[in-house]
Structure formats: structure tokens, C-alpha cells
Amino acid sequence: MKKLLLLFILITTLVFGSATSEQLRVNILKNIIVGVENISTKKVWSDNEELLHQFQNTPGITTTQNYEDANFLILEHPSNFNIKNKYVFVLDYDLLYDIPQSFGAFFWKKGRPNIVFIQPRLEEYHIKLAKPLEPYIEEQLW
């Protein structure tokens, strides 16, 4: 059912191709969140307040205003707080170096948006990705 939900999100975003840039960004991140399959209930928090606001009312995703209550963090900046036992996805490639617990990133490089998941970290944190996300897995950091 999760796979179907992921496909549904993908298709609706394609069908309604005139979505705004911000909607497209949110949809890409939705696909990533939904595509992490081994977390039954995701409680998402982000240090990007606008993004957090847009995640609200998204099917399959529950947001929280308090990072301590969250189990899935989407971070745009380096964090000083305790992220133990949380799944961390980042919005800047360099944060993969700064936050060793992060398992993937959505970022701009050479004028293009990119998605990457780091295989050793997926294994270390026992993260299983849906099939559509597998092509973005890389063996190591650049």
C-alpha cells in the first residue's frame, strides 16, 4: 500500500505539471519521506519552518513543531541538538559530512537539483528505501 501511495504522489505531481516550484520541492521531499519504508509512523520536523508548514496536511506524514517528538528530521543547517535515534535527511550536500547520522541529501550541484542516499549509512541505520529511490543510492560520499 505504501508503494501505491508513493506512486500516487508521483503521478499526481506529474499530471498537475503546472505546480509551482515550491510545490514541486515539497513533492520531491514527500516522495523521499514516503519512500523510507521501515518507519511505520513518521513524525517529521524541519529547521525550515516554511517547509514544515507545507508538510502539514500531507497524507502519510505527520509533522510536529518540536524536534524532540520527531523521528524524521529534514535539516537545512548544522544542528547542535540531540539527533540520536532519529532519521536525518539534509538539504545541503556538505551537511552529509557535518552530520554523520544523515543518510541522504537533496541539494543543488552544477545548476541541477540532486538526490543522493549513502549506502553505508542506510545499512548502519537500518533504513530500507522504496524501489523508486534505489537509483539514487551511492556507495560513498564524493
Partner 1 sequence: MKKTLFTLSLLLASQLSSKELILDDLLKEYEQSESLYTKTKKESAGFLIVYSREDLEKMQAYTLQDILKTIRLHTLQVRNNGAFSLTRVATGRMAMPPLKLYIDDYEVNSVLQSNTLDMYANLNLYFVDHIEIYQGGSSIAFGNEPGSMVIRLYSKDPSRENSTSFQFSVDSESSGDMSALTAGKTENFSYLASIDVAQVDYDTYERNNQTLSRDYRRYQTHLSLTKEKDFDFAIDAITTTTDILSGLGTAPKGNDILKTYGYIYGAKYFAKNWKAALSYGREKSKIDNEDVSPIGIGSTHSPYFYANIDSDIYKAILEYKIVNNKHDFLTGVQYQQKSFHLHQYDVQGYTPALDKDSVDIYMLYLEELYNLNKNNLLTFSGKVDYYQPEHFKDSTEYSLRLGFISLLSKEWSTKIFAIRRYVYPTMLQTSITPPIYKPNPNLESALIDLYAGEVQYKTGTNTVVLGYAYKEIENALSFNQIKKQYFNLPEQKHFNRWYIRAEHHFDLDNKIIMEYYKGYADTYFSPGSGVLIQSFNHYGKFNIYNELVYRSSYQTSTNFEVDAGYDYTLSLGYTYNKQTNIKLKGENLFDKASLTPIDPQGTLLIPATQRRVIATLEYTF
Question: Whole-number minimum distance, CB 88 to partner 1, in Å?
Answer: 20
- Does the footprint of partner 1 cover residue 131 (CB under 8 A)? yes
Residue list 68-97, contact with partner 1 (CB under 8 A):
93-94
Burial of 107 (0-12, 13-18, 19+ CB in 10 A): middle
Look up residue 63 and give its three cell numbers. 509533522
Give backbone dihedrals phi and psi of 106, rounded to 5 degrees, phi first. -125, 120
- Does the footprint of partner 1 cover residue 31 (CB under 8 A)? yes
For the chain, the first-to-last Cα distance in angstroms comes to: 35
- Does the footprint of partner 1 cover residue 37 (CB under 8 A)? no
- Does the footprint of partner 1 cover residue 100 (CB under 8 A)? no
Nearest CA to 84 out of 71, 97, 94 is that of 71
- Does the footprint of partner 1 cover residue 110 (CB under 8 A)? yes
Q: Return residues touching partner 1 (CB under 8 A).
A: 4, 7, 10-11, 13-14, 17, 19-21, 24-25, 27-28, 31, 93-94, 107-115, 131-136, 142
